[in-house]
Amino acid sequence: MTIARPAPAVLAAETWRERERAHTARAHGLTRAHRERAARHEPHPVEDFLFTYYSYKPAVLHRWHPGEDIELRDAATDARADWRWYAPGTTPGSLVVDGAAFRDDRRVLIANIGSIVRATAGRAPGFGCFGLHEWAMVYRQREHRHPVPLRLGRDGTDAVVEAHDLRCTHFDAFRFFTPDAVPRNRETPTRQQQAALEQPGCLHAGMDLYKWAVKLGPLVPGELLLDAFELARDIRELDMKASPYDLADWGYEPVRIETAVGKAAYVRAQRGFAVRGQMLRSRLLAIVDA
């Protein structure tokens, strides 16, 4: 049986344009430092990550979508009239996200996102990894991914890895482990196992919520997209503060996970991110399942 979608909620022009202005101002604030550094060709080992690893340009964040089933009055002359995935609404001159067309075109992608996000949301969080994935990425290597010195030096960094149990469950972190670090990990994650292994305490699973929000395109309200970006930004900062790199030149105080005090600080932050991540997962699943 086909279930009809509800009639779109209608937003007056002044209402949706104010939401769009607020979104644009917020997005520009979140991307300003990166854009200014890019103009100077000045890299940043922490803040550039969300724009290089995920390869989404700031313009992706700057564009506001109302989400599905929201009709925008008096929008026919707006630039979005030429955007893909928009269609005329029920009243003359209005526009609405063409959710049906987007879902039909991206059916497999949406199903995959739903399976990963749903499985992660339903799993108990784990807090015993202490961010050692970053350490495993430089284990026994003379050269490493970031042109930043190691806080404990190479031998000290290797000693931390050897003194701990590696518990990484996230494939996109595990795939950067050095060859000597791979057999030290409890799991051997693969892309096919992602839905089976992902858990909400994982920092990278939390960062990936930004990726999923982008991939769901115009179905995701702009406010949710920026919430996901802010969570990813905050997680990335902890990820690098707990890493083996010396980031003092960039103003970061390390979270010394090789100590008991550092481990406790890491887990406290990790728990907070897990709560924020689960709230975002609930909002994304509501979109996937609409």
Percent of the chain residues topping a pLDDT of 70: 98
**What's the gap between Cα 97 and its chain centre?**
23
Residue 145: the pLDDT is: 72
Model confidence pLDDT, tens digit, residues 247-279 = 999 999 999 999 999 999 999 999 999 999 999
Model confidence pLDDT, tens digit, residues 157-171 = 999 999 999 999 999
- Read off the pLDDT of each residue in 66-72 and give the average, rounded to a whole number: 95
Residue 57: the pLDDT is: 94
**What's the gap between Cα 221 and its chain centre?**
15
The SS3 call for residue 227 is helix
Confidence of residue 25 (pLDDT cuts 50, 70, 90): very high
Residue 174: the pLDDT is: 96
Residue 5: the pLDDT is: 63
CA atoms of 103 and 288, how far apart (whole Å): 9
**What's the gap between Cα 157 and its chain centre?**
27
- Read off the pLDDT of each residue in 143-153 and give the average, rounded to a whole number: 86
The SS3 call for residue 258 is coil
Residue 4: the pLDDT is: 59
Q: Which helix (H) or strand (E) holds 9?
A: strand 9-11
- Listed residue (289, 137, 158) closest to 204, CA to CA: 137
Tell me the CA distances in angstroms from 84 to 44, 98, 272, 286, one per residue in order: 33, 9, 37, 23
Token code pair at residue 55: 């390869």
Phi, psi of 264 (to 5 degrees): -65, -40
CA atoms of 176 and 173, how far apart (whole Å): 6
Residue 1: the pLDDT is: 45
CA atoms of 235 and 178, how far apart (whole Å): 23
Sequence-ordered alpha helix ranges (H) in the chain: 13-39, 49-52, 58-62, 99-105, 107-121, 133-136, 153-162, 171-174, 194-197, 203-215, 222-241, 260-288
